[in-house]
Each structure stands twice: as structure tokens, then as C-alpha cells.
Structure 1
Amino acid sequence: MHYEPNLKSFCFKPEQSMIVKRKIKMRRYMKRILKIILTILLVVNISNAQDQRRFPMGNFNVNGKISGKLIDEQSGKPIEYGNIVLYRFRDSSMVTGTISNSQGNFVLDNVNVGRYFIKISFIGFETKVIDSVLVTPRNAEVDLGVIKLSPAVVKLGDVVVQGEKELIINNLDKKVINVEKDLTNVGGSALDVMQNIPSVTVDADGNVALRGSTNIRLLIDGKPTNMEGVSTYDILSQIPASQIEQVELITNPSVRYDPEGTAGIINLVLKKRKEAGINGILTLNAGTGDKYNTSLNLNYKLDGVNVYAGYDGRINRFNSSGTNDRISTASSLSQILNQTTSGLNKMNSHNFTLGADYNLNDFNSFSTSLKYRNSSFDNVSSNKDLTYDQNNDLITQMVRSNTGDRSFNSLNFAFGYKKTFEEKGREFTADFLYSNFKMNRLEDAEQWNTIYLPASSYVHSLRRLSGEGKNNMYIAQTNYIHPFKSGIRLETGFQATIRDVSTYSDYYNYDFANQIFVDNLSLKNYFEYDEQIYAAYGIFSHSLFGIKYQFGLRGEQVYTKSNLPLDNQSFKKNYTSLYPSVHISYEFFPMNEIQLSYSRRVDRPNNRQLNPVVDYSDSLNVFAGNPYLDPQYTNSYEINLNNALGFVFLNTSLFYRTTNGVITSISELRNGVLYTTFANVAKSENYGVEFIWTQPIAKWWRLVANFSYFKTKVDGQGIVNVNQEATSWMTRIMSSFTFWDKTQLQVVFNYNSPTITMGGGMFGGGFGGGGGRYGGSTVIGQGKMYEMYGLDLALRKDFMNDKLSVTLRLSDVFNTRKFGGEVTGSSFTSKFNRRMDSRILFLGVTYKFNNYKEKRERLNPDEIDQEMF
């Protein structure tokens, strides 16, 4: 029997027998005391028999619940991550606390019977106190309803500062940047927005880096872009800044997210409406040098149905120029190459959106959306290459004229289902996404090549590239969240991603005698890539002694296959990976918190890096991929400190990342030609610190400043000139001034220090429009980028009760923004500089009708309300 071991121990250990006797005696005393207490309580209860709020015996330990919803009193929007703290009424001691979710809802669980008061706070808003909250056995669940918070009014001496929506919000798992608060984005694109985001840099080719690393995962409304083979510049330049509501930086995501992107995730949240009735917003922007964009968003909501539609279009013209000097250091091949280029680039983009949400009842809802995007990029450029020997005598002169036309078409369909339950926080979601992307290229390169040494000769050639790319992607995901009364929350989900990518490039040489293009079979480049990823994940969340913690584990099985149709070759790679994550937070004072997190991330090689077919489109820069590349894995650690000192908010982040098998571009100069490929040859370490400071200086002056310092170490594992170690830093200071009613001036200065690169862009490339904003192949491996800085100004005036806004913006006031860098190899050194239109004057007009307000909806499939607890 279960008590026999205890009896045996008592027989052989008399001291334990004595202890048990004392315990029995103590229990008798406790029973007597309990009888007295119960008798007193019974008398009190009888004397208050007429009171409708009397407490029946045996129910003092009822697990009560207090709930409510926080909204902005002015805009009516939910307030996410508001602080709710529960205090005992009799002694003001703190009992528990929580934060509001993305819908503004909050729940305080496991509240005992008693009388309390609640303090509710959020930065930029007045603290609200609810004086008396009574939890009784008959009223164990208290619903406080909708609680409105008013913008804070700060007194600084004789100055009054009116609180407003923060530009930067530091949440538990991400930084949220409210793009609409930054006037220097007016008239620009998503690429301009990226240049104004803390911790983010943009290089000469539009490659976006987060904390110094370009290995990021770019999402739009929580969904992958599915534009394989298209440069980041081409993707971001198509999206008007006026369509972006927020940018989310998620540097250590939980396992619910796809682990792709070793530096983290950048999610662009587009504007959405869910206000009752018909409402909308119209935006018109024009800039010097033929730069125009417009957007129109409409929304209709009635009862449980919400329908929305949108259009945005961009017309952009800009000039570019650049130089490149490459010196061969090999004694037998000492040569100097001077390259210059200039070009005119044109872009037209049209995007259409149609969607609907339907609430079947209080517990079941459906959502669907359809998005179509059509874009075209035209490029005309001229290049001049001069090659000199070691005696500075001209060897060759090559003049090249490039014309390129590229068109993109994409279609995205999403469907989502959400089921909630009577138990708050419990929900099930299922999402499906289909994305189809097509790209067509037609590019001509005419070249005049004059050879002076050792013998004079002249060659005139014309080459044409006709290319096509396709990408189909299917994503299905389910997610289930189950909260327990003990405070434990379990979450589990499944995700399947299937992608098939194909690229076909045909090259033609022009026959001047017969005046026809002849197919060049030796340069044909056909490549097909299939990828299947099946993932399952689980997340455990709880809190203990005020410490909130979350543990997650994601397992993935990946199947990949590369095909070379012309050579009848295929390459397969299958692998299984585990991705753990840990998030811990502790709030030692209200709005003063420390957060610790860890995640394992991956960067899988793309089809361009895997394609082994040699690209000879530029005779001086030859490129080939490597089909045997492995994914590179990163372990990411981070500490965040959020401090609210009065109305000054300081966020401090410290991070450390280590990556093995870094996919590195390797370049080698042979006989005056630069050959480039990829290999898993390096190890890297990245660590640094970031500060974000927000402070109202006066009624008419508000300051937001951020500073980031990064350290990068690259070990080339024996590959010459890949070993590098460098520091870089960046700062951005934004001052907002209000001189009179509803008129605001913003002054923004940013500076990026020199930094080393492991995959940015090198000047060159044969066919115009081949990628990036300058065209041609863009590969940089063993190099660094030079410093870059600039100043922007913006002035906005609101009219008609804030329905009409007029903004004037001047970018790069002193025309100082230019891109430059250098690349070094075992036998060469290359330095380049580039410029494009940067000093531009924009005029923007925005009109809101029928009480238009922006409100986020649930995203799918990759982002489904990522809450930590």
C-alpha cells in the first residue's frame, strides 16, 4: 500500500515519529482555530443577510477574472501593449498585471475575491485609474468594457506638450515604426522608407541590411514577396510610401515564423480599413524630374461584412552615373581598368487590391483578398571601359550601349478562417496563400571594342538577351492556441510551403551582313528549382514570480531539386533542421522591462546562387552559381532594455550572432576577366548595441534619435582576402517642430559609417536593367562600402479638420548622398562610386473622406498576431 514505506521509516527512525506526533498535535490546534474563525464569519454573514453582496462560505478562493479593452480616445484605434496593473484596495500592494493584445483586449486571470483598483498606462497617453473594482463569488468575472485613454499632456516648466502616437514602439517581440509619422517619406517609395528605419541600411543596389546583414526575410503584410530573381530595389521601389502604415523589425522571431533570414524579419504592414460605412483616402504626390505616384483606398463595412479595394500607381524617372577603377596586382598581368557609366531609368507600376472579411457569428470569421501587381522597368545606359598596362599605355577601349526592358506581373490570393471560443485567448486559425509571379526581359547590348596593343583591331558586336522567369508558391498553415487556467499557454501549428521556380535566358548575336539575330546556343541558360518545406512547431508560455517566459521548437523537413533542362542534369538536397527559440521578460517597474531572447535562423541559397550555368553576358565579369551550396545557420542572442523615465523613453538593445558556413561570393581575376562564384567558406560573428531615444523637448519640439554600433568578424577558413574585421555605426536624428496650429516641420539627418560587405554590389555588368538600380550583375564579396550621409526637410499643413493635408518635402538638401566601395581579391583591387537622383522636391496632397481611419487586420499566413504571452 502507498503508506507502507512511511510506516517502515518511522519504525527505524524514531526522530521522524516524534516529528509526526508534533504535526498531529499542531493540526488539532489549527482545527480549533479554524472553527472559531468560521463561527465569526458565520455571525458576520448572518448580520449582513439583507446585503445582496454577501459572501457564502467556501467561496473565498474563487478564481475571478477582470477583462476590458483599451482604445485611443481620439482615433478609436485599439491600443496594443498597454500596461494594466492590479492593486489591492486596502494597502495598495500590487497583485498582478498584464498587457493588452493587438485588438486592445486584456484579461487578468486568477483574481481572488476582494476589492481592487487598476492603473492603466501607455507611453504617450494619460495614466488612467479605475478606483474600485469588486470581485465577488456572484460576480467573479468583471468586464470593464471599453476604456478610453487620452493623449498625454506633459508640463515642462511653462510649456505644455500634447502626447501623440509614437514614431517607434518597442513591443515584446519587435520594434514597430509608424511610417505615417515620418514626413520625410512623403512622395517616396518603400525603399525611401527603409532608409529612415533604425538599424536598417540600403546600399547602392537597393540591398537592404538589418544590423549590417543583408540576410533578411522581407514580408509584405506578413506574407513572402515570392519575387525570386528580382532585386530588393525592384520590389521596394514599386510600393508607394503612402501605402505603408507600419514597418516591423523582428530580429528574434518565435518559431511560429519561418526561420528564413539570419538577421531577422522586416515586415511591411500596408494600410487597411475596417470602419463602419463607406470611407476612404486619396493621395497625390509629384516630384521634380518626372516622379509621380497616387493611391486610392476605399472601404465599406456593414454589420458583419467588410469589403475593401485599393489602387496605387507610380511613375518614376531617374538618372544614374558611376565609375569603377580596377587594378590587377599580378606581376605578369598588371593592368588598370577604368569604367564609367551613365543611364536613364524609367519605372511604371500599378497595383490593385480587393478583399473582404465576413463574421459568420461571434466565434467564426472568414477573410479573403486578391492582389494584382503590374510593373515595367526601362533602362538606357552607356558604358566606357579603358584598359591600361603597367606603363599606363592604353591597351583596349570598349564602348557599350545597353537598353533593357523588364516587366513584372504578380497575382496573390489569400484565404483565412478563424475560430474563437468562449474561453478568451483560445483560438484556431487556418490560412492558405497562392502566389504567382512572372518576369520578362528583353535587353540589347551593342559594343564597340578597339584594341591598340599589341596590334590594332576593331570589333563591333550586338547581343540580345531574351529572358523569362516564373515562380509559383503555395503556403498552407494552421495554428491553435490553448490557454489554461494555471496561466500556461500552449500553441502549436503546421506549415507547408511549396515553390517551383524557373528561369530561361536566350542569347542572340546580331549578323550585320544578313541583318538578323542568330541564336547563340553556347550561352543559353535554363534553370529550374523546386522546393518543399514541411514544418511543425510548438510554443509553451507561462509566467512565474513576475518573469514571463516562452519556449518554442520548430522542426522542418526540406526537399530541394535543381534541374538543367538543356544538359539533362539534376541536383538534389534533402535535409532536416530544428529551430529552437527562447523569450524571457521581466518588468521590474511599470514600463521598465528587460527582455532576453534566442533563436536559430537559416539562410537558404537562392536559385541565382545555385545555378551552375556560366553567365558570359559581361565579357569582363563572368559569373556562375554553385549547386552544392548548403544553407547557412545562425544562432542569434539579444537583450533589450526598455526604460520610461517620465516622458523620456529609452530602448537599449544588445545582440550577438554567430554563423557557420556563410555563403560567400568568391572572385578571382584571370587574364583580365573577373570570375565570381559562391561557396560555404566562412564563419562570421556580428555583435553590437543600439539606442533609441524619444523625448518631447518643448511644446513645439519633439526629438527622436537612434544610434547603432556594429562589429563584424569574417573568417574565410583559408580563402585569401576573405578574412575581415571591421566596425561600423549609424545614427539618425529627427526633430519635429510645430510652429502654429496644425503645421509641422521635420528635419532628419542620417549618417552611415563605412562597413564591410559579404554580398552587396560591385560596379559592372553587361546588360542594362539586369538587376538593381544601375543594371547588370551586382556581386561583391571581399569588400566594404564607404560612408554615406544626408539631410532631409519636410513641412506639412492640415486643413478641414485634418481631412486635407499638404506636404512639401526636400530630400538630400546638400546633395551629399552617394554610394561607394571597394572589393579586393587575391590579384586585384577594385574601387567604385555611384550616384543617382537624390535631391528631389516633392509636393503631396492627402484627402480623407467619411471619417477614414486605418486599422490593422489579422495577417496570414506567416504573421497571425504574434503575441508572446
Structure 2
Amino acid sequence: MKNILIILMLVVLMFNISFSQEQRRFPMGNLQVNGKISGKLIDEQSGKPIEYGNVVIYRLRDSSMATGTISNAQGNFLLENINAGRYFIKISFIGFETKIIDSIFVTPKNSEIDLGTIKLSPALVKLGEVVVQGEKELIINNLDKKVINVEKDLTNVGGSALDVMQNLPSVTVDADGNVALRGNTNIRLLIDGKPTNMEGVSNYDILSQIPASQIEQVELITNPSVRYDPEGTGGIINIVLKKRREAGINGIITLNAGTGDKYNTSFNFNYKLDGFNLYTGYDGRINRFNSFGSNYRNSVNPTPSFLNQSQSGLNKMNSNNFTLGADYNINDFNSLSTSLKYRNSSFDNTSSNQDLTYNSSNYLTSKISRSNSGDRTFKSLNFTFGYKKTFEQKGREFTADFLFSDFKMNRLEDAQQLNTIYSPSYSETQSMRRLSGEGKNQMYIVQSNYIHPLESGIRIETGFQSTIRTINTYSDYFNFDYTNNVFVDNISLKNYFEYDEQIHAIYGIVSHSISGIKYQFGLRGEQVYTKSNLPLTNQSYRRDYFSLYPSVHISYEFLPMNEIQLSYSRRVDRPNNRQINPVVDYSDSLNVFAGNPFLNPQYTNSYELNLNNALGFFFLNTSIFYRTTSGIISTVSKLLPNGVLYNTFDNVAKGENYGVEFIWTQPVASWWRLMANFSYFRTKLNGQGIVNVDQDATSWTTRIMSTFTFWNKTQLQISFNYNSPTITMSGGMGFVGGGGGRYGNQAIAQGKIYELYGLDLGLRKDFFDEKLSVTLRISDVFNTRKFGGEVVGEGFKSIFDRKMDTRVLYLGISYKFNNYQNKRERLNPDEVDQEMF
């Protein structure tokens, strides 16, 4: 904490010094600037600001384009560096009528023009005899990210963030909750732009706690700029939760129920008066689901044998999340914001497992029957505090933010096992084991950012971020003494691991627009200090390293709403604490895991070309991407002479991943809206390490969503998604553990994942001027979503599959108070400010 305070003091001191020097160098009122034109875009019907509206200024003499920009979350836009002359402005946004403002005259005496509030009317586009009413776009393409508006996706109602992920373009989800972006599960998951700090908890557990009703939009960031933490070679997925900023008292209450004991509820309220805003929220989930799985392993070393594993389980989840936050505008140039989030969740599970081993003659030689019961509880507290200062010079701002996160996990599991040997002689052995575990994570983040537009039109941005994190896990094992009827501590299986990490980063970004070409160059430098400790054996490991992460973003709009974008970024995946913990995990006696403390980070260079085209009445986004990764962290498996599968981690390979992606949206008719996504990519892995790796495979995914409007605006939505077989850069490991479930994301350098597909239906009807909404949804209508794959190693081949309750009927009801509408809060520290673009 002392280090944090020192850093904060230095930041404030440096800013005050630089600000005072800036005031002396450029006295207010003496700035020599080129012409500026500003305004605000709003929806004529609802009065809401229009974000990402396209504003282009043309020279009146020859209709050539001078420059352009887009509106921000408040609907505001700013055109800068306008030379003296006569112009006209064209304003457009998909789903709205194009507006033209002419007779704009820029002179030295009239260099700053405020167009005021500009109202755009929803479009009435004729397709033959068909009339299409404009509405909020499902997908908005920004320079470095895609913004997906998921609030009105009916196939998410009653579900969780996992359902939302499954219905996003470019995103796939397996049975372990491993979320992949273009086939790569090494992504950085953010919630409201902030890391989850839930190390050791699977993505499935994290995402299943967040009701879909609480999510406003999801940002897919495949090539982030250097303002983002470079962690996650596959990119960033940022889940943006609903927040309130309207004047007065506003709110919404949502209730959902699903078959099989699945319930969730949420409410959000805010109160805003003058410069003060107070908001609060709650969401709770109760979820019960069954799971089934099997694993078939054929071994040839040391002697031929066959292992047939089967599992069935019942899982129960109870989650409660509370949010309290406030914003205060001190004056027109200074504002403060703070928030507090508390989460309390529990996961109970019971399962039955049976392992049957056969010899080469197909005779049963042994059987292991195991029953498990467990309970896990999670408690997390997140506190944020932010300060923002703006200036009279438009576009100039300073922000400073502090984040504290505290996460605790407790785990208690009992496993009772009966071993039966049939050959060479019959015998039975009974045993019972108890696992008691505790995890504690604490994280501090301090960061600041300063943006300064220069007279030449160049914009300079610089900032720093310091992250300090401690992760401690303690696992105790006990064997049951049947003679004395007590549990006895098993010292040999104790697993105590302590991990400390510090990451200190500085970055700089230069952006400009010239002759219609907009560019942004950035460079980030990071110094990483890590220390891991095994307190029971007094072993410790240190790793310190410095890395540079450049990024480039270039765009050119050759026609209004037709743009080409080129980007590059370098990213990293650092080994997590479980991947480097060398203590062997014997949770499954036939499948054991051990980390590798000598793992290196894996680095990726990512290149991307985007084409955004508005063609007639439909919009097409085309992306061509190419990634190279070195030192891929992979799970590798080796069959031991005693028949146990030993799993560890190594930097075994280098890889290439490239492909093309299409996203097509179109209002086919006044009652029919269509969105389709298709991704095709090829993955190559090769290298040597604990195992030799040489794989080359192609795969593809597609998703089609149709929305039909009929009878008093009743909506029917049909969504279908298909994922072809793939080896992916990262994925699941098999029947036990899973890819990201227990040990984080890692590649299957020795196997592949089978196809996965399903169909969802949703129906929605609004009442009382859209204040009350009733929704009905069926997920996985044909019950086809099943996760499976295979792993091949030296002397063995394993085939696995897993199935959960995926076909569920949901009923949802929501009610809005005082014209509740969704609106984004100010960009948080981890988000890129792309105002220039």
C-alpha cells in the first residue's frame, strides 16, 4: 500500500508541474488554431444521443472530402484543422436519414462554428414495395473494436454471459466455458474495462454468474492499441454492464425463470440531480444443471489396455452481486467517479465416476467407482476511484484512476473411492479423501492518461499503469482412517503456493489525420517482476523481464461509410500461477497435473485488414487476419508405466493462424432483419519439446440470426451457430480438468476438438408503451450442443465427450421506470479513446 501511495503522489506532482509549465508556455486565450466545427447528434424521436454517427465535411467548390469524424457516446463531434473556405457537411448513420448542412463559411474571424443539436430522423428505406424502419444497430465497427449491442438479443433472455458469448460473431464457447475469439482462447476478459482478478476460477464460473439481463454491450477488440494491457494473444473481450446516467429517478426490474430450477433477477436504479449522480444495482442467480461425460483411452505402452471412464453430476450455483456508485461534476472541467462492487457466490456439486480397465483380450481387469461432493464459495470486492480533468482546449484531458480488488475462495471436496481388482487375483480396497482449499487474491492498479492536441492537428497521448498482485493458494488433503473413524492429514499431498507479480508500464500514442488518412502509432514498455514460493519446501522461483509492445492503426474512408483499416499489435500470454506450480495435483488418480516453473511467456504478432462497406441497404464487414505466435504454452500428456496419465506444461511450439471473416447485416424487409457471420481460419503448430508437434488444420464457424417483427411489434428471433472441428491455438484438454477450467488456457498440441452446433428461439412482446416486456426463449432447441474431442500422445489415444443441460425453456419479465434507457458511462481507464477516429 505504501508503494501505491508513493506512485499516486508522484503522478499528481508530475501532472501539476507539467500543467503549470503548459500554462506559462501557452497562456489561455493566445492559442493559434485552425477552424473547428462542433455539434451534437440526437435521435429525433427518442432524444437519445447517437454514438458513432458519421460526420464528413466536403469542399463546396469541387465536392472533395476535407476530413471527417464520428460522434462519441454523448453524441458530440468535433471537426478540427479546417482551412478557410466554403463547405457542406453530410451526416449519416445506419438506420437514419442522411442530413446535409450547407453554406458553412470558415474565416479567420469565424474559425469556431457550433452547429448545436442536430436531430436525425429514423430512415424509411423503400425496397421495392417494402418499407424498413431504422433501429439501433446490432454491430458498430470502430477503428480497433467491434461493439455488439446485445440488449435486444432475444436468444440471451434468462441466460448468463455464457449465452451472450455463444451468440456473438467471431466468438465460440466450449463446455468448460472457454471463450475463443477467432479460434484462440488466450483472450483477456474484462468487465467494464477492468480485469476480473479471479485467478484459479474458470471462465465458466465467472461468466455463469453474470445475468445476460445486466449486459448492455460487448466489445470485441482483436488488435488493441498500446493503451490496453497486452495480456491475451487472442485479443480482448470487454463486457459492458448497464449503468444509469439520466436525470431524476430511473430504474428497471427483471425476473427470469427456466426449466430445471434456473432463476435470476436483477434491478438497476439511479438518481441524478444537477452535477451529482448516484446509482445502485443488484442481480442474483440460482442455477441447477446436470452434466454427463465419458472418456475412452486406448494404450499400447507398456502393455495394451483400454480405459473407459464415465461421469454424471449435479451442479448448483447461487450468486448475489451488489453495485453502488456515484459521479460528481465539481465544475465544467473537473469530475470524480467511484464505485463499489461486492459478489458472493457458491457452487455445490455431486458426481459419480466409474473407471473400467480392460486388457488386450477385452477382459475387465479393474474397476474404480468414485463419488464426489464439493462446495466452493467465492467472495470478491472491487473498489474504483477516478478523476478526470478537461480543458478549454477541446480534446485535451487528464485522467487518473485507482482500482483495488480483493477475492477469496474456499473449497471443500470429499471423494469416496472403491478399487476392485479382477486380475490376476480378486481384491477390493476402499478409501476416502478430503480436500480443503483456500485462495486469496489481491490486486492494486494505479494508472493515468494525458491527451494533448497540438496546433498541427497531431494528437499526443501518454500514460502509465502499475499493477501489483498477490495470489496465494493453500490445499490440504486428508485420508479417512476407517479404524479410528477420523480424517488424517496427508502431508505428502499438501499443495501450498504463493505468487507475487508486479507489472509497470508506460506508453505513448501519436495520432493524426492527413489527406483523408487517419493513423495512430503507439509503443508500450513493460517491466515484469514475478516471484513464486513453495512455503512447505522453501523453494522459490523468480522471473523478471522487460518487453516492448508496438501497435499501428491506419484507416482511410474512400467513400462515406466505406472505409479500409489496417492494424498491427504485439501481445503476450504470461504463464498463470497454476501453470507454474510444480506440486502434483492428484485430484484424479488416473489423470494428474503438475505445473512447470520454468515456463516462458508466449508472444503473438497480430496483423489485420478490415473493410467496412455500406452497400445499398446492407452493411458488410470483411476482416483478413494473420497471427504468428512463438513459445506456445501447451498442455502435454505422457502415459506412465503404471497407467496414470501425467499432464504438464511446456513452451512446445510456434504457430500461425490466419483467415478471413465476414459480418453481414441487412434489413431484408420492414418485418425481417438478418445478421450473418462467417469465419474461416487455418492453424499450424510445429515444434519440439516434451513432445514433437506438427499439426495443420482448417476450421470455420458461422452464425445466422433472423429477427421477425409482426402483430403490434411482437418479435421472433431465430439464431443458429456452427463450429467445425478444430485444433485451435488453445482449447480443452479432455475429460478431466479441461483446457481453461482448472489450469487456464493452453493449446492441445496433441489433439483436436469436434464440431459443435445448435439452434435457439426467442419471442418478445412489449406492453404499456414498451415499459413492460415479456420474453419467451428456448435454448438449443434440438439438444445438439455436446463438447468432445481427442488427444493423441506417445503410446495412447484418448477420446472424450461432455454434455450439460443445454435445452432450457425461459420466461422473462422486465419493467422500466421513468423511461429507463441504456447509456454508456465515460470511458474507463482500460478503454481506448478513439475520438479522433
**Please, which of 536, 540, 544 is the counterpart of residue 566 of structure 1?**
536
AA at the equivalent of 1:148: K
- In structure 1, the partner of 2:120 is 149
- Aligned to 1:272, the other structure's residue is in SS state coil
Shift of 1:89: 3.7
Aligned equivalent of 1:707:
678
User: Which of 108, 132, 141 lines up with 1:170 in the alignment?
Assistant: 141
Equivalent in 370, 388, 409 of residue 400 of structure 1: 370
* Pair 1:621 & 2:588 matched: no
In structure 1, what is the equivalent of residue 775 of structure 2?
807
Q: 5 Å matches for 1:400-479?
A: 400-479=370-449
User: SS at 2:393's partner residue?
Assistant: coil
Secondary structure, aligned partner of 2:122: coil
CA distance, structure 2, for counterparts of residue 721 and residue 101 of structure 1: 50
Task: Note if contact 1:205-1:774 (Cα within 8 Å) is conserved in structure 2.
Answer: no
Residue by residue over 1:80-122, the C-alpha shift from the partner in whole angstroms, topping out at 9 and shown as x without a partner, is 3221122334554433322223332222223234433211011
Q: Is the 8 A contact 1:701 1:736 kept in 2?
A: yes
**1:608 corresponding residue in structure 2:** 578
CA displacement 1:271-310 (0-9 Å, x = unmatched) = 0110000000000000000000000000000000000000
Q: Determine if contact 1:348/1:377 at 8 Å carries over to the other structure.
A: yes
Residue 239, structure 1, aligned to residue 207, structure 2: no
C-alpha distance in 2 between matches for 1:778 and 1:756: 11
Give the aligned length.
805
Question: CA shift at 1:772, angstroms?
Answer: 7.6
> Quick check: 1:391 aligned with 2:327?
no
With over 3 angstroms needed to count, the CA separation of the structure-2 counterparts of 1:189 and 1:419, relative to structure 1, is same
Helix, strand or coil at the partner of 1:716: strand
Which residue of the other structure, out of 659, 666, 690, is the alignment partner of 2:629? 659
Distance 2:787 2:742 in 1: 12
Question: C-alpha deviations, 1:193-229, integer Å up to 9, x for none?
Answer: 1101111111121111111111100000000000000
Per-residue deviation at 1:485? 2.3
Using the TM superposition, give the Cα deviation of residue 775 of structure 1 relative to its aligned residue in structure 2, in angstroms. 12
Partner of 2:298: 327
Query: Partner residue of 2:94?
Result: 123
Give a deviation string over 1:647-705, Cα, whole Å, max 9, x none.
21000001000011111111000121000110111101100100000111111111100
Q: CA deviation at 1:484?
A: 1.4
The answer on whether the counterparts of 1:371 and 1:412 sit within 8 Å (CA) in structure 2 is: yes
Partner SS for 2:401: strand
Alpha-carbon distance in 2 for matches of 1:774, 1:810? 30
1:510 positional shift = 0.5
Cross-structure match for 1:795:
763
In the other structure, the counterpart of 1:76 is 47
For residues 775 and 217 of structure 2, what CA distance do their matches in structure 1 show? 19
Computed over aligned residues only, the root mean square deviation of the Cα atoms, in angstroms, reads: 1.8
Residue 302 of structure 1 pairs with residue 293 of structure 2: no
Judged with a 3 Å threshold, the aligned counterparts in structure 2 of structure 1 residues 551 and 759 are, in CA distance, closer, same or farther, namely: closer
State the partner residue of 1:691: 662
Change in Cα spacing, 1:781 to 1:229, as seen in structure 2 (3 Å) is: farther
SS at match of 1:181: coil
Aligned to 1:828: 796
Distance 1:511 1:741 in 2: 69
Name which of structure 1's ranges 119-128 and 214-223 shifts more when overlaid on structure 2.
119-128
Residue 518, structure 1, aligned to residue 488, structure 2: yes
Residue segments in structure 1 that go unaligned for 5+ positions in a row: 1-60
1:94 to 2:34 alignment: no
Give the Å deviation of 1:177: 0.6
How has the CA–CA distance of structure 1 residues 647 and 596 changed in structure 2, closer, same or farther, with 3 Å as cutoff? same
Structure 1 residues 571 and 773, CA, compared in 2 at 3 Å: closer, same or farther? Answer: closer
Match for residue 211 of structure 1? 182
* Alignment TM-score, normalising by the size of structure 2: 0.94
Q: CA deviation at 1:710?
A: 1.1
Contact preservation (8 Å) 1:548, 1:586: yes
CA distance in 2, matches of 1:166, 1:298: 25
Cα contact 1:444–1:465 (8 A) shared by 2: yes
Cα distance in 1 for partners of 2:501, 2:689 equals 32
How much has 1:570 moved relative to structure 2?
Answer: 0.5
Classify 1:227/1:868 alpha carbon distance in 2 versus 1 (closer, same or farther; 3 Å): farther
- AA aligned to 2:804 is M
Q: Secondary structure at the match of 2:228?
A: coil
Partner of 1:251: 222
Task: Give the corresponding residue for 1:846.
Answer: 814
Q: Where does structure 2 lack aligned partners over 5 or more consecutive residues?
A: 1-31
Superposition deviation, residue 793 in structure 1? 0.7
Residue in 1 that maps onto 2:337? 367
Distance 1:306 1:503 in 2: 39
Matched, 1:855 2:785: no
For 1:827, give the aligned amino acid.
Answer: G
Once residues 692 and 607 of structure 1 are traced to their aligned partners in structure 2, the CA distance between those partners, rounded to angstroms, is: 37
Aligned partners of 2:330, 2:430: CA distance in 1, in Å? 69
- Distance in 2 of aligned mates of 1:492 and 1:201: 35
1:757 and 1:782 in contact (8 A); partners too: no
Decide which moves more: 204-213 or 123-132.
Answer: 123-132
Q: Which amino acid aligns with 1:363?
A: F
Q: Secondary structure at the match of 1:608?
A: helix
Q: Which amino acid aligns with 2:566?
A: L
Call closer, same or farther: CA 1:584–1:759 in 2, change over 3 Å. Answer: closer
- Describe the shift of the 1:72–1:537 C-alpha distance in structure 2 as closer, same or farther (beyond 3 A): same
Letter in 2 for 1:196: N
State the alpha-carbon separation in 2 of the partners of residues 531 and 694 from structure 1: 44
Any idea what the Cα deviations from partners look like across 1:115-136, whole Å, max 9, x if unmatched? Answer: 3321101112111112332334
**How far did residue 773 of structure 1 move?**
7.9
Task: Flag the 1:772–1:843 CA change in 2: closer, same or farther, 3 A.
Answer: farther
1:280 aligned to which of 232, 251, 257: 251
Partner of 1:28: none
| Greater mean deviation of Cα atoms: 143-152 or 242-251 | 143-152
Give the Cα separation in 2 of the matches to 1:139 and 1:775.
Answer: 62
Secondary structure of 2:781's counterpart equals coil
Match of 2:510 in 1: 540
Q: Which moved more, 1:92-101 or 1:251-260?
A: 92-101
Q: 1:722 to 1:867 in 2, by over 3 A?
A: farther
Is the counterpart of residue 486 in structure 1 residue 450 in structure 2?
no
Could you report, residue by residue, the CA deviation over 1:177-196 in whole angstroms, capped at 9, with x for unpaired residues?
A: 10112110000000111101
Q: Comparing 753-762 with 143-152, which one deviates more in the overlay?
A: 753-762
Cα 1:311/1:139, change in 2 over 3 Å: same
Conserved 8 A contact 2:143-2:834: no
TM-score norm. by structure 1 comes to 0.91
Residues 354-376 of structure 1, C-alpha deviations (whole Å, 9 max, x = no match): 00000000000000000000000
- Equivalent position of 2:646 in the other structure: 675
1:816 counterpart = 2:816? no
Q: Is the 8 A contact 2:178 2:741 kept in 1?
A: no
Q: What is the SS of the residue equivalent to 1:191?
A: helix
Contact 1:648 1:693 (C-alpha < 8 Å) held by counterparts: yes
**Displacement of 1:73 after TM fit?**
2.7
- Give the corresponding residue for 2:721: 750
**1:456-503 deviation line (CA, Å, top 9, x unaligned):** 110100000000001000000000000112110000001100000000
- Choose which of 537, 545, 548 in structure 2 pairs with 1:578: 548
